[in-house]
Amino acid sequence: MEGRARDLSRCSERMPYRHDVFLSYRRDPLLALQKTAEKLKETAANVQKLGEVPDAIEAVKTALDQPKATPPQTSGGAMEYGERELKRDCEGPDVAELQLRLAGFRGTLPDGEFGPGTERQVMNFQRDYMKLAQPSGRADAATLRAIDKFADDYPIDFGKLKCPCGECAGFGAGKDRGAYLAGHPKDEAHHLYEYPGMHRMLLWAVRGVFFYMPEHRFTVNSGYRCSADNAKNDRTTTNHYGKAIDIDIVLTARECNVDDKRKCEAARGRIVATADAQVGWGAPNRKALEPPDIAPTWVHYDVRCYEPKYLADALFCTSLAALDNRKPIRF
């Protein structure tokens, strides 16, 4: 026994602890894993020579020899949407995509940081759409698949969103980036830039409207309206340069204008409650609804209060496929 103990002691001496090596491994985690695997295999071989649990040791060696799968990543090294479960303290573009897709379920900034606001979004979606009695607030694979189904349940007709001017291709000409109406510098409400499509977060929020109010049949009155369309109709507003949509509630044959106003006002209240939208444009970085004195018989929904980084060109789309941005769920 004493001889065997000395042999085991010599095995352990082959893996001395060195602080400088430890620090280098912290800087390169992959190198640390490779070195640790090599040491474990070497030690396993030495222990096996002593006749210690050969079957278990062989299993360890076999496991260490197996190739390790590396999840696909974006060019910047960040995880893609659909590659991992998203929960508290996760960060990255996949979190921003989740926040955008759940814009109609309370909603938060698409800043890529999974905090209490994002957790609330997920829980509301799980409770209201998925009908879970105990929502977890974690966007697991089942939740991401349910979000895809939610998109399928509430498609958006891009034919009705296209600009009616007859001059642009349907979503403006990309003109006047950084230009503003005279007297309104850096004011997004008067930004003359024709954004390259409709804002994705806005359209996902509209899906939330359709979901939460199944008692109504909605139509799109107005989507994109470019500067050429403004000129034809003597308008100066720039909200519909990709940042706004007007929807209306279809009335029955016996209903009148008074009923239309009442239903639109009630719809605004529901949107405030379910999507954290505001009536008017007082708060920054929140979805906004025109007040009833401006839009009495329709619902105007926009994202003009957001900072420029949340209005980047990449957040705009011109097709249903680009809006959905469907990704495989790989975990």
pLDDT digits (tens, 9 = 90+) for 208-258: 999 999 999 999 999 999 999 999 999 999 999 999 999 999 999 999 999
Indicate if 135 and 174 belong to the same structural domain.
no
Q: Measure Cα distances from 160 to 172, 224, 318 in Å.
A: 15, 9, 11
Of the three residues 113, 138, 153, the one that is the final residue of a domain is: 153
DSSP letters, 33-88, are HHHHHHHHHHHHHHHHHTTS-HHHHHHHHHHHHSPPP---B-TTSPBPTTSS-B-T
Indicate if 202 and 140 belong to the same structural domain.
no
Does residue 292 form part of some domain?
yes
Give the structural domain span for 41. Answer: 2-65
Whether 181 shows a pLDDT value over 80: the answer reads yes
Of the three residues 114, 134, 153, the one that is the final residue of a domain is: 153
CATH number of the CATH domain containing 132: 1.10.101.10
Q: What is the mean pLDDT of residues 52-75?
A: 48
- Count: domains in the chain: 3
Q: What is the mean pLDDT of residues 61-66?
A: 50
pTM here is 0.78
Beta strands 288-289 and 278-279: pairing type? parallel
Cα 3 versus chain centre, distance:
63
Indicate if 290 and 212 belong to the same structural domain.
yes
Backbone angles phi, psi at 244, to 5 degrees: -145, 160
Q: What type of residue sits at position 133? A: A
Does residue 89 form part of some domain?
yes
Indicate if 271 and 297 belong to the same structural domain.
yes
Of the three residues 138, 153, 168, the one that is the final residue of a domain is: 153
Element (H, E) at 221: strand 218-222
CATH number of the CATH domain containing 240: 3.30.1380
Whether 149 shows a pLDDT value over 90: the answer reads yes
CA trace torsion 99, 102, 104, 108 (10° rounding): -20
Indicate if 183 and 313 belong to the same structural domain.
yes
Least confident span in 21-25, 62-66, 119-123, 259-263: 21-25
